[in-house]
């Protein structure tokens, strides 16, 4: 099926000479208009739950750069919030959750996600949907069970998710119950996002890269495959991108076996080898180094050119290998857009 949205066409199986382009964390602190909007609001979660503000943050990068896709402005940690865990964000420090611990770590959590609590997110989606240019695709998202669980257990960001890894070894039954609950919650949440108006959902497994193969299979691959299968079965029109960041040696299995329409490549992944594995059966998304975007100039041009060359002849969505960093100059993003679309900086 062809579409007047280049992003959807590539996810549905077409190739495009000029890849559709969007950036993870394209809304955020590197944009002066985001900082101004954010300064007027309360806590980060309040901001995420304010439909007018969240819709505006979603649209800002579309107005400025004309990206091929908008991504819902929200956060992966609204899911633990809607499961009843206490979630906060400390400026400069990132997320702070009441960690899951003690004799019965799941006892304070709801069995099922409270979608009523997330009503403002669905309202944000409805607002954005009515305001997007007709050629712009709309992406919703959630965090993958392993990544979300790792924050729920530690209560904050860590360099290697050691607390969740230890928990999974020491208390595998409880960890399994948590992952199962997150699979259910993620499916329910994504289906509601699709019903509210997103056309694509991306599942962020930002911490997929820290596990040994046995644990990767159980906590990353299987839950991701289940979510993809259930979302596609319930909403066959919806398109799904999986982003198993740091999957490394498991990337091939993800490209071949997750059942997603697209797979996101992180900064360290080799585009040419992923393209060989994919055989055009899935679209590949990525994977410019966010630091090359900060550096700009000849280094940026060279990296962009090499990615475009490596993906030639393959279904490709241009993106970064991880999110835009706050110190990124806006002009470098403008340059990237010109370079990808017009082949000039």
Ligand X SMILES: Cc1c2[nH]c(c1CCC(=O)O)Cc1[nH]c(c(CCC(=O)O)c1C)Cc1[nH]c(c(CCC(=O)O)c1C)Cc1[nH]c(c(C)c1CCC(=O)O)C2
Is position 84 an interface residue for ligand X (rule: CB under 6 A)?
no
Cβ neighbours for 331, distance < 8 A, ≥ 6 positions apart? 296
Does 24 help bind ligand X (rule: CB under 6 A)?
yes
CA separation for the pair 326, 1 (Å, rounded)? 38
The number of residues that bind ligand X (CB under 6 A) is: 23
Q: Contact, 338 vs 345, CB < 8 A?
A: yes
Q: Does 133 bind ligand X (CB under 6 A)?
A: no
The verdict on 73 binding ligand X (CB under 6 A) reads yes
Annotated ligand binding at 151? The verdict is yes
Q: Which two tokens stand for residue 199?
A: 């056309």
Q: By CB under 6 A, which span of 72-80, 264-272, 282-290, 334-342 interacts with ligand X?
A: 72-80
> Should residue 88 be labelled a site residue for ligand X when binding is judged by CB under 6 A?
no
Which residues inside 91-130 make contact with ligand X, applying CB under 6 A? 91, 94-95
Specify the residue, 146 or 204, whose C-beta has the smaller distance to ligand X: 204
Among the residue ranges 21-29, 162-170, 212-220, 254-262, the one whose residues contact ligand X (CB under 6 A)? 21-29
Residue 176 has, within 13 A of its CA and on its CB side, a CA count of 9
Cβ contact 222:163 at 8 Å = no
Flag whether 75 is marked binding.
Answer: yes
Cβ neighbours of residue 288 under 8 Å, at least 6 residues apart? Answer: 267, 303, 304, 307, 318, 319, 320, 321, 336
Q: Does 224 bind ligand X (CB under 6 A)?
A: no
Catalytic residues: 25, 29, 38, 75, 151
Tokens of 237: 């029109």
Report whether 160 belongs to an annotated binding site.
Answer: no
* 206 touching ligand X, by CB under 6 A: yes
CA angle 177, 182, 186 (to 5 degrees): 155
Write out the two tokens for 33: 């208009």
- Which residues of this protein are in contact with ligand X, per CB under 6 A? 24-29, 38, 44, 71, 73, 75-77, 89, 91, 94-95, 141, 143, 157, 204, 206, 323
Which residue ranges make up the annotated binding site for substrate?
A: 25-29, 75, 151, 206, 322
> What residues are designated binding site?
25-29, 75, 151, 206, 322
């Amino acid at each position: 099926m062809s579409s007047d949205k280049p992003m959807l066409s590539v996810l549905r199986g077409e190739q495009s000479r000029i890849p559709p382009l969007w950036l993870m964390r394209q809304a955020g602190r590197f944009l002066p208009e985001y900082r101004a909007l954010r300064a007027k609001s309360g806590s980060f979660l309040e901001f995420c739950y304010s439909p007018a503000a969240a819709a505006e943050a979603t649209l800002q990068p579309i107005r400025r750069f004309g990206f091929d896709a908008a991504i819902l402005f929200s956060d992966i940690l609204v899911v633990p919030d809607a499961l009843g865990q206490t979630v906060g964000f400390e400026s400069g420090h990132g997320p702070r959750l009441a960690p899951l611990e003690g004799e019965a770590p799941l006892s304070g959590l709801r069995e099922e996600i409270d979608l009523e609590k997330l009503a403002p997110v669905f309202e944000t989606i409805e607002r954005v949907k009515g305001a997007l240019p007709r050629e712009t695709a709309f992406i919703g998202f959630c965090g993958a069970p392993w990544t979300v669980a790792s924050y729920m257990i530690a209560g904050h960001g860590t360099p290697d998710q050691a607390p969740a890894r230890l928990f999974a070894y020491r208390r595998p039954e409880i960890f399994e119950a948590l992952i199962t609950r997150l699979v259910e919650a993620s499916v329910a949440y994504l289906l509601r996002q699709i019903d509210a108006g997103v056309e694509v959902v991306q599942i962020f497994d930002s911490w997929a890269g820290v596990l040994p193969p046995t644990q990767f299979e159980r906590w990353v691959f299987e839950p991701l495959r289940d979510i993809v299968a259930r979302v596609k079965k319930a909403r066959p029109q919806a398109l799904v991108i999986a982003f198993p960041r740091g999957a490394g040696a498991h990337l091939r299995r993800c490209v071949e076996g997750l059942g997603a329409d697209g797979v996101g490549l992180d900064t360290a992944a080799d585009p040419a080898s992923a393209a060989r594995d994919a055989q055009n059966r899935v679209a590949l998304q990525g994977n410019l180094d966010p630091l090359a975007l900060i550096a700009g100039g000849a280094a940026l041009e060279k990296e962009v050119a090499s990615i475009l060359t490596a993906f030639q002849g393959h279904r490709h969505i241009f993106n970064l290998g991880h999110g835009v960093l706050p110190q990124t100059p806006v002009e470098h993003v403008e340059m990237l857009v010109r370079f990808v679309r017009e082949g000039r900086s």
